[in-house]
Chains A and B, each alone.
Chain A
Amino acid sequence: MKKSKYYLIIVLALTMFVISACGSNNDNEGSSDNGDSSASGEQVLNMVETAEIPTGDPALATDAASFIVFGQTMEGLYVLDGEDQPVPAIADGDPEISEDGLVYTFKLKEDAKWSNGDPVTAHDFVYAWQRALNPDTGSQYAYMFSGVIENATDIMNGDAAVEELGAEAVDDYTLEITLEQPVEYLNSLLAFGTYLPLNEDFVEEKGDSFGTNSDNMLANGPFVLTGWDGSGLTWTYEKNEEYYDIDNVSLDKVNVQVAKEPSTAVNLYETGEADRTAALSSEYAKQYANHEDASTFEEGSSWYLKFNQERDGEETPLANENIRKALAMAFDKEAFAEQVLSNGSIPSDGYVPRGLAVNPETGEDFREESGNLISYDVEKAQEYWNKGLEELGVDELSLDYLSDDTENAKRTAEYFKNQLETNLDGLTLNLENVPFKNRLDRTTAQDYDVVMHGWGPDYLDPLTFLDLYVTDGANNQASISNEEYDQLIEDAKVTYANDPEKRWEAMLEAERILVQEDTAIAPIYQRGRLTLIKPYVKGLEEHLFGPDYSLKNVTIEK
Chain B
Amino acid sequence: MAKYITKRIIYLIITLFIIASVTFFLMKFLPGTPFSNEERLTIEQREILNAKYGLDQPIPIQYMNYMVNIVKGDLGVSFQFENQPVMDLLMNRIGPSMQLGVQAMIIGTIIGIALGVLAAMFQNTWIDYGSTFLAILGKSIPSFVLAALLQYYIGVKLGWLPVASWNGFSSSILPTIALACFPIATAARFMRTELIEVFGSDYITLAKAKGNSRGEVAVKHAIRNALIPLITVLGPMAVGLMTGSMVVEKVFAVPGIGEQFVKSIMTNDFPIIMGTTLFFAFLLTVIILIIDILYGIIDPRIRLNGGDK
Chain A residue nearest to B151 in the complex (CB): A267
Flag whether B84 is at the interface (Cβ < 8 A): yes
Chain B residue nearest to A209 in the complex (CB): B83
With A10-B114, A271-B156, A437-B30 known as contacts, the answer to whether A234 contacts B83 (CB < 8 A) is no
With A3-B214, A29-B168 known as contacts, the answer to whether A263 contacts B266 (CB < 8 A) is no
Flag whether A260 is at the interface (Cβ < 8 A): yes
Contacts of B102 in A (CB 8 A): 21
Contacts of A231 in B (CB 8 A): 81, 84, 89, 92-93, 255, 260
Q: A230 contacts B88, CB within 8 Å?
A: yes
With A21-B106, A143-B40, A257-B253 known as contacts, the answer to whether A267 contacts B84 (CB < 8 A) is no
Cα A156 to Cα B44 in complex, Å, equals 10
Cα A13 to Cα B255 in complex, Å, equals 31
Flag whether A258 is at the interface (Cβ < 8 A): yes
Flag whether B42 is at the interface (Cβ < 8 A): yes
- List CB contacts (< 8 Å) of A12-66 with chain B: 13-14, 17-18, 21-22, 25-26, 28-29, 32, 34, 52, 54-55, 57, 60-63
- List CB contacts (< 8 Å) of B184-236 with chain A: 213-216, 218-219
In angstroms, how far is the closest chain B Cβ from the Cβ of A263? 6
Chain B residue nearest to A260 in the complex (CB): B250
- Tell which of B48, B117, B216 touches A135, judged by Cβ atoms closer than 8 Å: B48
Contacts of A291 in B (CB 8 A): none
Flag whether A158 is at the interface (Cβ < 8 A): yes
Q: B167 contacts A29, CB within 8 Å?
A: yes
Flag whether A394 is at the interface (Cβ < 8 A): no
With A264-B163, A475-B40 known as contacts, the answer to whether A55 contacts B250 (CB < 8 A) is no
- Tell which of A13, A18, A156, A232 touches B45, judged by Cβ atoms closer than 8 Å: A156
Q: A14 contacts B45, CB within 8 Å?
A: no
Q: B49 contacts A140, CB within 8 Å?
A: yes
Contact with A along B157-197 (1 / 0, CB 8 A): 00100111111110010000000000000000000000000
Contacts of A57 in B (CB 8 A): 82-83
Flag whether B152 is at the interface (Cβ < 8 A): yes
- Tell which of B41, B77, B95, B251 touches A140, judged by Cβ atoms closer than 8 Å: B41
Q: A267 contacts B152, CB within 8 Å?
A: yes
Q: A230 contacts B41, CB within 8 Å?
A: no
- Tell which of A55, A63, A140, A271 touches B83, judged by Cβ atoms closer than 8 Å: A55
- Tell which of B110, B159, B166, B253 touches A264, judged by Cβ atoms closer than 8 Å: B253
Cα A14 to Cα B167 in complex, Å, equals 25
Q: B259 contacts A264, CB within 8 Å?
A: no
Q: A29 contacts B166, CB within 8 Å?
A: yes
Flag whether B300 is at the interface (Cβ < 8 A): no
Flag whether B270 is at the interface (Cβ < 8 A): no
Flag whether A332 is at the interface (Cβ < 8 A): no
Q: B215 contacts A5, CB within 8 Å?
A: yes
Contacts of B255 in A (CB 8 A): 231-234
- Tell which of A2, A14, A21, A32 touches B114, judged by Cβ atoms closer than 8 Å: A14
Flag whether A268 is at the interface (Cβ < 8 A): yes
Chain A residue nearest to B38 in the complex (CB): A440
| Residue of A62, A436, A442 contacting most chain B CB atoms (<10 Å) | A62
In angstroms, how far is the closest chain A Cβ from the Cβ of B172? 7
Contact with B along A252-281 (1 / 0, CB 8 A): 000001111101100110110100000000
Flag whether B35 is at the interface (Cβ < 8 A): yes
What's the interface size class on B, roughly?
35 or more
- Tell which of B39, B49, B96, B110 touches A138, judged by Cβ atoms closer than 8 Å: B49
Flag whether A495 is at the interface (Cβ < 8 A): no
Chain B residue nearest to A144 in the complex (CB): B40
With A7-B215, A54-B36 known as contacts, the answer to whether A271 contacts B84 (CB < 8 A) is no
Contacts of A259 in B (CB 8 A): 164, 253
Cα A17 to Cα B251 in complex, Å, equals 27
With A17-B110, A234-B165, A264-B253 known as contacts, the answer to whether A211 contacts B148 (CB < 8 A) is no
Flag whether A487 is at the interface (Cβ < 8 A): no
Flag whether B283 is at the interface (Cβ < 8 A): no
Q: A263 contacts B32, CB within 8 Å?
A: no
- Tell which of A234, A268, A438, A475 touches B166, judged by Cβ atoms closer than 8 Å: A234
Cα A9 to Cα B219 in complex, Å, equals 10
Flag whether B252 is at the interface (Cβ < 8 A): yes
| Residue of A22, A209, A259, A261 contacting most chain B CB atoms (<10 Å) | A261
Chain A residue nearest to B155 in the complex (CB): A267
Cα A9 to Cα B49 in complex, Å, equals 64
Cα A435 to Cα B31 in complex, Å, equals 9
Q: A208 contacts B83, CB within 8 Å?
A: yes
Q: B99 contacts A28, CB within 8 Å?
A: yes
Cα A372 to Cα B151 in complex, Å, equals 46
Q: B31 contacts A441, CB within 8 Å?
A: yes
Cα A435 to Cα B29 in complex, Å, equals 14
Q: A440 contacts B52, CB within 8 Å?
A: no
Q: A55 contacts B266, CB within 8 Å?
A: no
Q: B215 contacts A273, CB within 8 Å?
A: no
Contacts of A474 in B (CB 8 A): 41-43
Query: What is the interface of chain A, defined by CB distance below 8 A to chain B?
Result: 2-3, 5-7, 9-10, 13-14, 17-18, 21-22, 25-26, 28-29, 32, 34, 52, 54-55, 57, 60-63, 135-136, 138, 140-143, 156-158, 208-212, 229-234, 257-261, 263-264, 267-268, 270-271, 273, 435-438, 440-442, 458, 474-475
Shortest Cβ-Cβ A-B pairs, 3 listed:
A437-B32, A6-B215, A55-B82
Query: What is the interface of chain B, defined by CB distance below 8 A to chain A?
Result: 30-33, 35-45, 48-49, 52-53, 77, 80-84, 88-89, 92-93, 95-96, 99, 102-103, 106-107, 110-111, 114, 117, 148, 151-152, 155-156, 159, 162-169, 172, 213-216, 218-219, 250-255, 259-260, 266-268
Other A-B pairs, 12, CB within 8 Å; known A261-B250, A267-B163: A18-B107, A18-B110, A25-B103, A55-B83, A140-B36, A229-B92, A264-B251, A264-B253, A267-B164, A437-B31, A437-B38, A438-B31
Q: What are 14 contact pairs spanning A and B, CB under 8 A?
A: A2-B213, A3-B214, A6-B218, A29-B166, A62-B37, A143-B40, A158-B48, A231-B93, A263-B148, A264-B164, A273-B163, A437-B38, A440-B38, A475-B40
